[in-house]
C-alpha cells in the first residue's frame, strides 16, 4: 500500500512534476482498508495506512496527508479522540477528515462531526460512493483555494477567500473546510433562507443522500467558534438557516 507515483508534464523549456494527493487510511479491518486503498489509488491518489489510532496520529504528523479516512473504532486511540487531537493542533486543524462508520454508530458519528470531521461514509460502502465523497471534498477545497480574491465581512468578522482565513476582532479563527464553506455561503447570501439541501449541495459539492443533520451539527459548531453568530444565524423551521444582516453601526 501507499506506493508514490507522480505525473510529469513537459514543455519546450520546462518540466513540472505534480505529486498526487495523499490520503491516510486509519482502519483496523484489513479488508476495508485494502478495498479503500485499491480504489483510491485507481483514482490517482497516494495512500498511507495505519491500523491503530496512535499510529494514525503519528503518520498524520510525519506524512502530512491531504485527507484522512478515519474509522471510529481503531485500537489504542479511538476515532473520536484522534479527531479531537487533530483539530487541537494548528498544523492539522484544517485537515479534511472523513469518518468511516457503521449504521449502529450513528450517535458517535454525530459526536465525530461535532469534534470537527467534515463528512462520513457508512460501512459497508461501495468504491464509487467512497470515491465520490473524497473527490467532492477535494473539489470543494480546490475551489476555495483557487477562488479569486474576495472578502466578506460581518461586523468585526472578516472572511478572506484568497487566504482561506477568518479573522474576528483581529484574531484568526481556525475553521475546518466545511465550517469555512458554510460561513462563506451564509455571508454570500445574507437575509436569504438557505435550505439544508442547498447548503449540502453548495458546501459538500454533490447531491447528498441521507440525513441532513450534518448541516445542523456544523452550524452549531460554527456558532461555538464564533459566538457573535449565535443570534445572527437563525434556524427556519423545517427549512434551513438564514443569516440576519447586521444593523449598521452609528
Alpha helices in 29-76, H assignment, sequence order: 30-42, 53-63
Residue 239's pLDDT is 80
Strand, coil or helix: 95: coil
Pairwise CA distance, residues 184 & 181, whole Å: 5
Task: Indicate the helix (H) or strand (E) that contains 102.
Answer: strand 97-102
Structural fold of domain 7-143: Rossmann fold (3.40.50)
Strand, coil or helix: 202: helix
Pairwise CA distance, residues 235 & 118, whole Å: 21
Per residue of the chain (250 residues), what is the pLDDT tens digit?
A: 544 434 443 444 444 456 789 999 999 999 999 999 999 999 999 999 999 999 999 999 999 999 999 999 999 999 999 988 888 787 887 889 999 998 788 888 888 887 778 888 888 888 888 988 898 888 766 655 554 447 888 989 999 987 889 999 999 999 988 899 999 989 988 888 888 877 887 787 655 555 668 889 999 999 999 999 999 999 987 788 999 876 544 4
Pairing, β 97-102 against β 119-123 = parallel
Pairwise CA distance, residues 84 & 78, whole Å: 10
Domain ranges of the chain: 7-143, 148-243
Residue 196's pLDDT is 82
Residue 37's pLDDT is 94
CATH number for 148-243: choose from 1.10.287.470, 1.10.10.10, 3.40.190.10, 3.40.50.1220.
1.10.10.10
Amino acid at each position: 500500500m501507499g506506493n508514490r507515483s507522480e505525473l510529469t508534464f513537459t514543455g519546450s523549456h520546462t518540466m513540472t512534476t505534480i505529486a498526487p494527493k495523499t490520503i491516510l487510511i486509519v482502519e483496523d479491518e484489513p479488508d476495508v482498508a485494502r478495498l479503500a486503498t485499491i480504489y483510491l489509488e485507481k483514482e490517482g491518489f497516494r495512500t498511507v495506512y495505519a491500523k491503530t489510532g496512535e499510529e494514525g496520529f503519528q503518520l498524520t504528523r510525519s506524512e502530512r496527508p491531504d485527507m484522512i479516512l478515519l474509522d471510529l473504532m481503531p485500537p489504542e486511540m479511538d476515532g473520536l479522540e484522534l479527531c479531537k487531537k487533530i483539530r487541537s493542533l494548528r498544523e492539522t486543524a484544517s485537515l479534511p477528515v472523513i469518518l468511516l462508520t457503521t449504521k449502529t454508530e450513528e450517535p458517535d458519528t454525530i459526536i465525530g462531526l461535532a469534534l470537527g470531521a467534515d463528512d462520513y461514509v457508512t460501512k459497508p460502502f461501495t468504491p464509487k460512493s467512497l470515491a465520490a465523497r473524497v473527490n467532492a471534498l477535494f473539489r470543494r477545497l480546490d475551489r476555495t483555494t483557487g477562488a479569486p480574491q474576495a472578502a466578506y465581512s460581518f461586523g468585526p468578522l472578516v472572511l478572506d477567500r484568497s487566504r482561506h482565513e477568518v479573522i474576528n476582532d483581529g484574531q484568526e479563527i481556525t475553521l475546518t473546510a466545511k465550517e469555512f464553506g458554510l460561513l462563506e455561503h451564509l455571508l454570500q447570501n445574507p437575509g436569504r433562507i438557505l435550505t439544508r439541501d442547498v447548503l449540502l449541495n453548495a458546501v459538500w459539492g454533490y447531491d447528498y443522500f441521507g440525513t441532513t443533520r450534518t448541516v445542523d451539527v456544523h452550524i452549531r459548531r460554527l456558532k461555538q467558534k464564533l459566538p457573535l453568530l449565535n443570534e445572527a444565524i437563525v434556524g427556519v423551521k423545517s427549512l434551513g438557516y438564514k443569516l440576519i444582516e447586521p444593523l449598521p453601526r452609528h
